[in-house]
Amino acid sequence: MKQPDALREGTTHGGDGRRTFRLFPLAVVVVVLLATSACSKLTFVRQDFSRGDYDQIARKVDVSDDKRDKASSARVHLQRAQEKLLTGDYPGTEREARQALKIDPKSVDAYTLMGAAAERSGATAQAGEHYRRAAELAPTSGGVLNNYGVWLCGQGQAAQSLAWFDRALADSSYHTPAMALANAGSCALRAGQDVRAATNLRDAISLDPANPVALGAMAELEFRQGRAFEARAFSERRLAAAPADRNALLLASQIEQKLGDTAAAARYVQRMRAEFPETQGSGMGDDGRR
């Protein structure tokens, strides 16, 4: 069964040792990656930077002129890497990020950008190395630990990923704990740990009632446990919270089929085929069967 989305984010470490979440070199957004998870891996889609829920962080650099010049130069390369990521120039993203690493070999931002670029270009193993290196450099940073947990979960290591989400949630300064809770719940569901999944997902929804990851996973969990009416409620909330993906529509059709509303099930299948024309099967499963 397909699973719902997962979320990544970017983290920055200032020159004075302070951590701030989500990378904004020169007041520009860097990385919050939305992921649609399949049973075997997570497939990343383009970021949507039209949303207004990003913090604006202006970094102060109170150091010597030489260090200030180096820090400024590194930020320029990071900004260029970010811009190239947004335009789909993944080799350019890596090139600029590596230039930043020449100036600051411990740049968590650079490794995060390289991880995102590698993952989008299909170099999944390399992406994991970059996310792991970022986690080594920032072992208490919620956003960085969340990223590596998502990668592990996408590589079939759902149970192992849970420890990384726990570490992310231990960061008292983590700005978006609902994100890690939603990811933890989704991955716990994938690992067959339904009790933990329910706890994490309900906590995520309590913090962020419109979290599409948590809502989609709760719909899946309720459906899996035979509570189709409850699954329908969460499915409808998921579809209202964010643009539909194939998995959300597929699950909605399966729920309606289970409840005996074949007309509603057919409408979801029709919508799925119209919005995702590569879809095969009847909507009752990837191969046309449930």
**3-state secondary structure string, the chain?**
CCCCEEECCCEEECCCCCEEECCCHHHCCCCCCEEEECCCCEEECCCCCCCCCCCCCCCCCCCCHHHHHHHHHHHHHHHHHHHHHHCCCHHHHHHHHHHHHHHCCCCHHHHHHHHHHHHHCCCHHHHHHHHHHHHHHCCCCHHHHHHHHHHHHHCCCHHHHHHHHHHHHCCCCCCCHHHHHHHHHHHHHHCCCHHHHHHHHHHHHHHCCCCHHHHHHHHHHHHHCCCHHHHHHHHHHHHHHCCCCHHHHHHHHHHHHHHCCHHHHHHHHHHHHHHCCCCCCCCCCCCCCC
**256 contact partners, CB below 8 Å, separation of at least 6:** 232, 262, 264, 265, 268
What pLDDT sits at residue 38?
Answer: 28
Residues 210 and 225: their CA atoms lie apart, in Å, by 22
pLDDT per residue of the chain (290 residues) written in tens, 0 to 9: 444 456 676 544 433 333 332 332 222 223 333 222 322 222 222 222 222 222 222 333 344 455 677 778 999 999 999 999 999 999 999 999 999 999 999 999 999 999 999 999 999 999 999 999 999 999 999 999 999 999 999 999 999 999 999 999 999 999 999 999 999 999 999 999 999 999 999 999 999 999 999 999 999 999 999 999 999 999 999 999 999 999 999 999 999 999 999 999 999 999 999 999 975 554 444 333 33
Residues 215 and 143: their CA atoms lie apart, in Å, by 21
Where residue 288 falls (left for φ over 0; alpha for ψ -120 to 50; beta otherwise) is left
What pLDDT sits at residue 9?
Answer: 66
**146 contact partners, CB below 8 Å, separation of at least 6:** 7, 8, 9, 164, 165, 168, 179, 180, 183
Number of other residues whose CB lies within 10 A of the CB of residue 160: 14
**153 contact partners, CB below 8 Å, separation of at least 6:** 6, 37, 42, 161, 183, 186, 187, 190
CATH number for 5-243: choose from 3.40.190.290, 1.25.40.10, 3.90.1170.50, 3.40.30.10. Answer: 1.25.40.10
pTM recorded for the entire structure: 0.76
**Annotated domain spans of the chain:** 5-243
